A and B are shown apart, each in its own frame.
Chain A
């Protein structure tokens, strides 16, 4: 499915579900096409609402619809679906315990030429601090397609951190997705790479570099960053004894923080972080931005080598 854009996977899946499930409605804030929801607007005009450029209103209208019994999906670019509407999400959605599903597109460096203003690098941090919110970041088309029904059935708010464009397939046809279970992509014994979103494909590339150096790394996709799959994370950390996290997000508040919070309680061990290091984004295409923010396969491989050395010093 690697030739299909993730936004189309989302739009088509929702459209299919909406035929049978009358609870689903979608709300946009002038990014209907950008979010891949234009076919829904066409097929179900009475169940698709475009509130214009007014994200706070969109999210809170969705809360009102959810209080009535609908399951609304709202969509915008990731900073405007999260950071901009933090209080609306905190009070009208989370505090009120309403099952609004938030789609934040173009997370992190995938905002590319929209640059720093649109490059949500703190969205997970913002959302993760909101009680009850689930955070899911898809990895490939197959996974996303399987995730949507589970997101609908989860009776609570979910943030979907959606890279809109095409990505390489990670999972095969036999893949079975569970919203609350991290996926072990490759088993290994020397170091664990916990990766999310775009950084999973980059980490798969890094595995080859590591293998050339006889390093047997374990790669785990943490697609759901909250609530985090504590068992899988702790089991892997105990096995390998050191950890590198890879995320398309600030290293403050995101995957690194979530894993560090988990392991500091359960199994403290040496950790390193690949991600945006307390900085804003800037314009550029993904390959440049990966290089600029030290998020390439080479950076991941080097972080793994270094953290293994630290583990050995500790032993």
Chain B
């Protein structure tokens, strides 16, 4: 599977997953689809037949509400059958809206209360370094989430500890529940912030697979942690979702919407 095919399939399956219950965090799922494609289909050393494999690379999706995009990716990788995606948020499901390490094979850390996942990733990276397992720890944080003070507590410690096998993405779609991040409580200058916290900081088009890939390749050569600021579009790939703006954070999504969205995704390949 090429990265482009993987990204398309992650989007299609994310939409399938959310349409099964008819509502979900659709915008912030589609904005990280390309990051997930590059991670799981190029970089991450993982084994779907052995989800708890020692020495594996790990991912903390700190913006835990992007669960459906992660589930779509894990299903594609073979962690569980694709049909399980239709159980999102159903009573008794193993696919809850927010990532839960105790329910879903392949989820490395529970997340949902914003601001905590980067600290978890720092803990995993410290553990991995202590165990000398040679693994990489990845984390995806939200831009709105970056308003949480704990993100910067984690950043300060990761930078001081020179956690060079920690690679973090900011999903910078500039939208949060109440509007544009830049208007609610802006992050700029974000690159300067991360650099000043002693991170190698790279800004990329978060939907350009080559740029994401090259950023990770270069991150692996650093002697300090890396922040990849991924400029993204919330709802990327489906025009009527993108057009909702902040309204696509947690939105209704019917079977008809699904058909229309899939048609557009495939047309634009």
Contact = CB atoms under 8 A, between A and B. Distances in A.
A92 B102 contact: no
Interface string B205-238: 0000000000000000000000000000000000
B154 interface: yes
A52 B157 contact: yes
B176 interface: no
Given A51-B157, A57-B150, A91 B127 contact: no
Interface residues of B, number: 27
Interface residues of A, number: 29
Given A57-B153, A67-B108, A91-B116, A96 B126 contact: no
Given A25-B130, A91-B112, A65 B157 contact: no
Nearest to B129: A46
A69 B113 contact: no
Given A91-B116, A96-B101, A67 B123 contact: yes
A57 B155 CA distance: 10
Nearest to B154: A57
Interface string A71-90: 01000000000000001101
Contacts, number: 94
A190 B124 CA distance: 54
Nearest to A91: B113
Interface string A25-53: 10000000000000000000011010110
B157 A68 contact: no
B120 interface: yes
A61 B110 contact: no
A13 interface: no
A92 B156 contact: no
Contact of B119 (A47, A56, A70, A95): A56
Nearest to B121: A64
Given A46-B130, A64-B127, A65-B124, A57 B113 contact: no
A135 B156 CA distance: 31
B122 interface: yes
A52 B112 CA distance: 25
A102 to B, nearest CB: 15
B120 A63 contact: yes
Contacts of B149: 56
Nearest to B127: A68
Contacts of B120: 60-61, 63-64, 67, 92
Interface of A: 25, 46-47, 49, 51-52, 54, 56-57, 60-70, 72, 87-88, 90-92, 95-97
Given A60-B154, A64-B60, A68-B124, 12 more contacts: A46-B130, A57-B122, A61-B123, A64-B109, A64-B127, A67-B108, A67-B123, A87-B113, A88-B150, A91-B116, A92-B116, A97-B102
